[in-house]
Chain A
Amino acid sequence: DAGITQSPRHKVTETGTPVTLRCHQTENHRYMYWYRQDPGHGLRLIHYSYGVKDTDKGEVSDGYSVSRSKTEDFLLTLESATSSQTSVYFCAISRGTGFTDTQYFGPGTRLTVL
């Protein structure tokens, strides 16, 4: 158990509405990640963070923003949700110091945009 929770676990929303997903960790790890998973595409990195207020873009960052004001929380925001953002969103942490370390995943958030 990597001590990661995600909220909400399920959400249905309408096109054009803002949505914020929360990832919370209890173990004070420096690196946190947001992925989306879609059939045929696998897991794709949206944004990641390497410390409080330190974030960077991943492969599919358009339409998403992130914030990390505390070590334990990493927020993913869809400013204006679109149907193409219907997906399963996973948060992950890595326990080590950087770019070769194992990542551990949270339970996921299933988001549907109507």
Chain B
Amino acid sequence: RKEVEQDPGPFNVPEGATVAFNCTYSNSASQSFFWYRQDCRKEPKLLMSVYSSGNEDGRFTAQLNRASQYISLLIRDSKLSDSATYLCGTYNTDKLIFGTGTRLQVFP
């Protein structure tokens, strides 16, 4: 089993929709989790960090489920500009391990 797994998608959703992605992790001792957004041919940019049960920033909510070892990202009221690949990551000892990313395409 991979240390961090994501559904690659693509998730195709209309503007205004709510969409959720899950990210599963194998290390039960993981303490910190990260969601990054990556546009085509650009560097990953931090969307949010999660150190406890969850985090919220505007239309974006991250929820951590330690019992089932996954972290979700919920995007409400999707915008065309939300189209990107979303990467999740968590530390295994001193190394940040990433999933392969979930691609989101928002259409008009």
B57 contacts A by Cβ under 8 Å: no
Known contacts A42-B87, A43-B87: A99-B49 contact under CB 8 Å:
no
List of A residues within 8 angstroms of B45 by Cβ: 105
List of A residues within 8 angstroms of B18 by Cβ: none
A 101-114 binary contact with B (CB < 8 Å = 1; else 0) = 11111111000000
List of B residues within 8 angstroms of A98 by Cβ: 94
Most chain A C-beta atoms within 10 Å of own C-beta, residue among B49, B94, B97, B99: B94
Q: A90 near B95 (CB under 8 angstroms)?
A: no
B 29-53 binary contact with A (CB < 8 Å = 1; else 0) = 0011010000000111110010100
**Bound-state Cα–Cα, A58 to B3, Å:** 14
Question: On chain B, which size bracket covers the interface?
Answer: 20 to 34
B 47-77 binary contact with A (CB < 8 Å = 1; else 0) = 0010100000000000000000000000000
**Bound-state Cα–Cα, A42 to B98, Å:** 7
Closest to A98 in B: B94
* Choice from B43, B94, B98, B101 contacting A99 with Cβ under 8 Å: B94
* Choice from A41, A56, A106, A107 contacting B100 with Cβ under 8 Å: A41
A-binding residues in B (CB < 8 A): 31-32, 34, 42-46, 49, 51, 87, 89, 91, 93-101
9 intermolecular pairs with C-beta atoms under 8 Å apart? A41-B100, A42-B87, A42-B101, A43-B87, A48-B95, A58-B95, A100-B32, A102-B34, A102-B46
